[in-house]
Structures are given as C-alpha cells and as structure tokens.
Amino acid sequence: MLDATIVTHTPAFVLEYEAFQRNLELIRELQQELPCTFLFALKGFGMHRVFAEIATCAQGATASSLNEARLASEFFPSVHAYAPVYQKDEFDAIAKLSSHITFNSVDQYTRYKDRLGSSLAGLRVNPKYEVVETALYDPCSPGSRLGVNPTNLEELPAGITGLHVHNLCESGAREMKGTLAAVENLYGHFFSRLKWLNLGGGHLVTQKGYDLKLFKDTVLSFNRKYPHIELIFEPGAAYVWETGVLVSEILDIVVSDGITTLMLDTSFTAHMPDCLEMPYTPKVRGASIVTDQSKANTGPRIRLGGASCLAGDWVGDYQFPSIPKIGDRLVFSDMMHYTMVKTTMFNGIAHPDIGIIRDGSYEVIKHFSYEDYTNRLS
C-alpha cells in the first residue's frame, strides 16, 4: 500500500511498479500460450517511460494519430493505425510508420488505398452487439459513426485484408465471446478472404475475476475453425489496470447546506474528466462511497471538490472514519488508464506530477512547468 507522505509534490499520478509488473506477466503468459496477438493501445496510457517494458509482452501498438504512431514506432516492432478520419496532411507519414491501417469507411479506403505503401489495409465494421451501458462509450449505439454497418457492406473491397471491431469497454470474456459470435454471424462470409481480425480494446484480462478459461477456450476454438486468420486484441487499460493512483492534498474545507466539501489541489474536470463524463465516483483509499444517502450511517456528508472554477467540479458522497483535516492527503485508486491522457490545463491548473514508486522509493518522472502551459497556447 502506497504511503502517500513519500510523494514529494501533489497532485501526482503514481505508478505502483509491482502491480504493473504483475499485469505484464499475465499478458505475457497469454501471449505465449495462445494463437493470438496482443497489441498495446496508446490512447489509454501514454507514460512512455515504461513503454519498453510493455513492449516485452505486447507484439505491437495501436495509434489513432500521427503523434501516437511516431511515439509507438520508437518502442514497438509494429504499429497498427486506426482513426475515424485521417488527416490529409498526416496520412502518408502514418502509412510509412504502420504495418496495418484500418479505415472507418469504404470511402476513406478508396481515397487512400493507392498511398498505403507496404501497409496492410483493414476496414472497421459495426458488430451490432451492444454491451456498454454508457452511451458516450458505446460504438454500437444507433446512428454510430464508427464502423461500416453490415447493410452497407455487400462486398469486401479488393485489397482489404482484415476487419476491425471495437465495441467493448472494461468488459469480460463473455462479452468477448459474444462479440466474436456477432462478427462471425454478420461478416463470416468474408472470413475466407481475411488474414486478420482485430477485436479492438475493452478486454480487461487483468481484472480480478476475469474468466481467463473462457477467454482461452474462445481463442482456441476460433483458431481451430479459422487457422488462417490472425486474431488480434488491443487492450489499453488491461496493461495498467489497478496499477496507479492519483495523490491529492486537502487545501481547504467548505461547509454549506449540511454538506462538507474537502477542497483539493486536483481537479476532476481537468485531471479526472471521466468522473464527470461517464459519470462515476472514484474510489478513495480509506473511505467508502455512499450510494444511498438514506441508508448512510450517521455522520457528515462529505464531497470532494476540485480546484477549478467549474461549479460541477466535485464528486461524492463519501464516508471517512473521521473527518479529514487540511493538509491530509487522499489517494484515488486506479487512476492511470484513460486519465493522464485526457487531462487539460483548464484555468491554467498545472498537470499533476507523474511518478513511480518502486521498492518503497518514489521517483518523479515528470513535473509540469509554466512553459508547458504557455507552449500549448498561442
């Protein structure tokens, strides 16, 4: 368990190295045991200080822009590119860096197919299999702009070597199996012409309780039926699931209308935007989340307030064993994936530090400065 007092400056994203290594070892074992390919998705985690270690178990990386492709190419043996639309002035550079390029529409493929170079071409399709409850994260919701619908794909365009789907979000093996069945049902008549099938991200294989046996059985069954098709997974969160935290300090306490708000040096809108977008209440070590206020034990109703001027920059309610004090530190659990990559500098609030705790020692990897703020503005 992290001792928050050893973090030299807050707020700070802190990678817990031993937990990170456990995730990598599990993925490495799956990669060695199964006839499939694991890629690493940069969109979920951008701490490139540890990319070389991720590359010991991932056979490549996925990128959604030229910047991601350039970064991925520095660490991984292959880059698989996919973007809903490709920027006209970036495509040629992406093609030079990528072994695979997936297109979101037939029109995009037609526009760029003569500029692929040696890259293999793929097409994203919609499996019409909805398992994500939050519409913001559901690529299969009605009217989705992501992937070609089966009714719009009577023929597979010449030159397309693989199909790509992405419809999961922190999902289990049952959903993976259901996705594969849905793809086979809708697009199986193209399988004889495919070299690869990419099932995208959302495969949370490192989560406690994930049905690894079902995952393995599903992969092996598919391989027996279609041995000529390389099955690809590109999780982002699984590599760093429950491996890092955000450490914050209480700077003030505000009491209003019976609600106690602990005012933090971090911001939910700037540093943890998914808390407000999904929304969800993040876990805080040493505290419990109150889901039904009527059933709460007697005691103060506590919210956590962010440092920005946005009125809605807060989350809650929580119960603590005792009321925290100004100067106390709070530790938000599981704050490495899809968090650091989505931060902003709204209000000029500095990004949290990025650090690693290893063998009880804390190392600051990155501290953000005034120049980081001004350099991204005109």
pLDDT digits (tens, 9 = 90+) for 163-179: 999 999 999 999 999 99
pLDDT > 90 fraction of the chain, expressed in percent and rounded: 93
Give the integer Cα–Cα distance in Å for 166 and 312: 31
pLDDT exceeds cutoff 90 at 307: yes
Report the first-to-last Cα separation within the chain, whole angstroms.
42
Please report the pLDDT score of residue 293 as a whole number: 61
What are 133-169's pLDDT values in tens digits?
888 899 999 999 999 999 999 999 999 999 999 999 9
Quote the CA–CA distance of 216 and 239 in Å, as a whole number.
Answer: 18
Query: Using an 8 Å Cβ cutoff, are 38 and 365 in contact?
Result: no
State the fold for domain 4-14+244-335+343-374: Lyase, Ornithine Decarboxylase; Chain A, domain 1 (2.40.37)
pLDDT at 300 over 90: no
Handedness of CA 329, 334, 340, 346 (dihedral sign): negative
Under CATH, which architecture does the 34-240 domain have?
Alpha-Beta Barrel (3.20)
Which pLDDT score is estimated for 296?
A: 55
Domains of the chain by residue range: 4-14+244-335+343-374, 34-240
Would you state the pLDDT for residue 127?
98
pLDDT on residue 246: 98
The pTM of the full predicted model, rounded to 2 decimals, is 0.94
User: By percentage, how much of the chain surpasses pLDDT 70?
Assistant: 98
| pLDDT band at residue 378 under the 50/70/90 scheme | confident
Residue 301 has pLDDT above 60, yes or no: yes
325 pLDDT above the threshold of 70: yes
> Exposed e or buried b for every residue in 338-366, given b needs 16+ CB within 10 A?
bbbeebebbeebbbbbbbbbeeeebeebb
